Amino acid sequence: MPRIHLCFLWHMHQPFYKDLLSGEYKLPWTRLHALKDYYGMVRILEEFPEIKQTFNLVPSMMVQVEEYASGKARDPFLEVALKPAESLTADEHAFLLKNFFHAHVSRMIYRYPRYGELYEAWTAQSRVPGAKSVFGVQEFRDLQVLSQLAWFDEEFQEHDSEVRGLVEKGRQFSLEDQALMGRKQIEILGLVIPTYKRLAASGQIEISTTPFYHPILPLLCNSDIASTAHPNVPLPRGFRYPEDARHQLQMAREYTERVFGVAPVGLWPSEGSVSDEVFHLAAECGFEWAATDNGVLDRTLGRSSGVDGTYRPYSWRQGNNKMQVIFRDHLLSDLIGFVYSGMDAGDAARDFLGRIRGNSRGILDSGRDALVPIILDGENAWEYYDRNGRPFFRELYRGILADPGMCAITVREAFTRIHADPLDHIFPGSWINANFDVWIGAEEDNKAWEFLLAARQTYDLAKTATPDQRALAYEELLIAEGSDWCWWYGPEHDSANRVEFDQLFRSHIANVYRALGQMPPEDISRSILKASISESHADPSGPISPVIDGLVSSYFEWMGAGIYRVDARSGSMHGKRFLVRELHYGADAGKLYFRTDFHDGTDDLLASLDARLTLRRHGFESECSLAVHLEKGKVSLKDSNFDAKDVEFNFQTILEIAIPLKSIGVESLESVQFLSSFWHGGLPIDALPQQGWLSISRSEKGEWVG
């Protein structure tokens, strides 16, 4: 009988944060993700020995994990976390407050009551310029400990007596607690590589890899190839160093074989970026299969591949070189990455498997096996999930095992079970829109490529440098070729660490010159970044009483309202679609008012959309909610768990809602917290705010505040 073969490929990657000249790690994310994602994602499979998967490990990330596990990594973030709170300087206080709340507010910070208290104290303090700090020695030590514990894998939080003891203690941590937190980090980091080796040796997982420092290989070979997918895109001077692409591939294969005991045959080219030249290089280096996105398959075939085309393997061949290829199901992969975190774990798993069965039905009925490639980031999504995604994975894996017509296999196994269709070429593109626009073409991106090219040419001409100098300079060049720097340049993405990424890239470029004994060019000292877009929030300034007609009928009717504007960038992960542009809110003596403005180009979502508004009185756990349904321009009440008979709502060009205070058990306006969420086809697609709650109240002086 034909079966559904699920191929999960989890891509584990972080940029190379270490400065080779100073030896210092500039950001902590490799360490923090290793504490939970790199370890926990593979460890949970031991509960389900019949589930097989592929893990793509980027060597430049694993090198960092090795150094952390040895205790030799110089990480200022960890050093400050472990320093006795009594000895912290004023600068270190500021460093802690700036950097140690960088975690998902709802899932990671508020999970620990004391961490939530500290977060609220910090946000309140930061909103009043010159306010006296409420953080003393104990507050800082509690922040030092909890900001690290929040990243520990569920296994240790639940089953390690020492870690569980810290979690249960919750506050008033001691110096001994702080030291224990540091020791447990090294212990967990030391388990990462042995766990992968153990499961690889058992055959339960296959380890694939990526070029060593995660470069966009087609652009290294010839950056002008970007114009194939996007004609007339403005490009910098051509960067043509296929020898660097080959070297990055060879280094990756050699490293993975040395550390894990077997040479990888599988390749996830950085960001799924492929071209014919890249496949030739990969085949010559010993790789047998590669993976990319089904958007690239569409461009290769010159038509929509559909489910039937995506759910099968392919064999690319040119001359004596061949490469087996799978193409990820973009939609299903993105549902895990961006949507299911907002759902109950069991509902999400059932929805996912139900979609796979529905997609595969026609293929199975034709007598053919279905190969379903699910390929996505293996680390960043889980902090948005309840308990780091572990309940979702258990529900998902149980569901797979309960279905006799479904199995989970490695990518290499897939090619032994299902016949591959031939390809005589591959379209040059990445997993994002089957082009390279994220990494080249924008002003910031092109400036970075100009810096890289100038440094590469300087290296070529530095014939008098010693072998050691040239080796260090070349290593810095390979690091600077990584994709992560241009991920943050240009208009597509934003991050709280965007400035640090810019500094890191320019430092690696400068280190090329320094390693060669030369003075770096002056222009490298200036930021590549242009103005950064960010969300903005203005508190209410007075009472409002708008007409609830779904239109901006007067500029003045919402004057005095609070405004929460949403940054339209995608954050650290590409693919999330933002629906809402801004939210206006306010009140008068008897009603709360809410207005939602939507982004242009979202008519398809607005044709059938559920908008849910959740409210709670400040300081109380009880919540009440109201949902309205938008259907082709009409709006209706869908459900409510409070008295909604007097609620007003309308939608024309904007969504407006008015709620009597008495309906939610408030006679006059005390502090009320609220959030909005938006659902399409039963799946959450957007929320305001993205984390935490907004609030409205009147001060004792009668002033309107957020």
Domain with residue 565: its CATH number is 2.60.40.10
> Are 338 and 573 contacting, i.e. CB atoms less than 8 angstroms apart?
yes
Bridge partners (DSSP) listed for residue 702 = none
pLDDT score of 184:
97
pLDDT score of 222:
98
pLDDT score of 290:
98
pTM, two decimal places: 0.87
At residue 442, the 3 state secondary structure works out as: coil
54 and 202 co-located in one domain: yes
Q: What is the mean pLDDT of each run of 10 residues along the chain (706 residues)?
A: 97 93 92 96 97 98 97 96 97 95 95 96 85 90 98 95 97 98 97 97 98 98 97 96 98 98 96 98 98 98 96 98 97 95 96 98 97 96 95 98 98 97 98 96 96 98 96 97 94 81 92 93 85 70 91 86 76 63 91 93 88 76 81 85 85 93 77 85 74 78 64
What single-letter amino acid sits at 149?
L
pLDDT score of 511:
93
Question: Quick one: tokens of 74?
Answer: 């110089």
456 and 587 co-located in one domain: no
pLDDT score of 393:
98
497 and 374 co-located in one domain: no
CATH number at residue 335: 3.20.110.20
Q: Which of 433, 468, 497 is the last residue of a domain?
A: 433
249 and 357 co-located in one domain: yes
Q: Which of 381, 403, 433 is the last residue of a domain?
A: 433
Residue 164 resides in a domain: no
550 and 578 co-located in one domain: yes
Q: Produce one character per residue of 330-358: b if its CB has 16 or more CB atoms within 10 Å, e if not.
A: bebbbbbbbbbbbbebeebbebbbeebee
392 and 477 co-located in one domain: no
Residue 147 resides in a domain: no
> Are 241 and 456 contacting, i.e. CB atoms less than 8 angstroms apart?
yes
If one counts the domains in the chain, the total is 3
- For residue 57, what are the domain limits? 1-70+187-228+237-433
pLDDT score of 622:
65
> Are 30 and 64 contacting, i.e. CB atoms less than 8 angstroms apart?
yes
Which residues lie below 8 Å from residue 599, measured CB to CB, with a gap of 6+? Answer: 568, 578, 579, 580, 581
Give phi and psi for 294, each to the nearest 5. Answer: -75, -10
Residue 128 resides in a domain: no
563 and 520 co-located in one domain: no
Q: Which of 525, 544, 563 is the last residue of a domain?
A: 525
Phi-psi region of 614 (alpha: psi -120 to 50; beta: other; left: phi over 0): beta
Residue 353 resides in a domain: yes
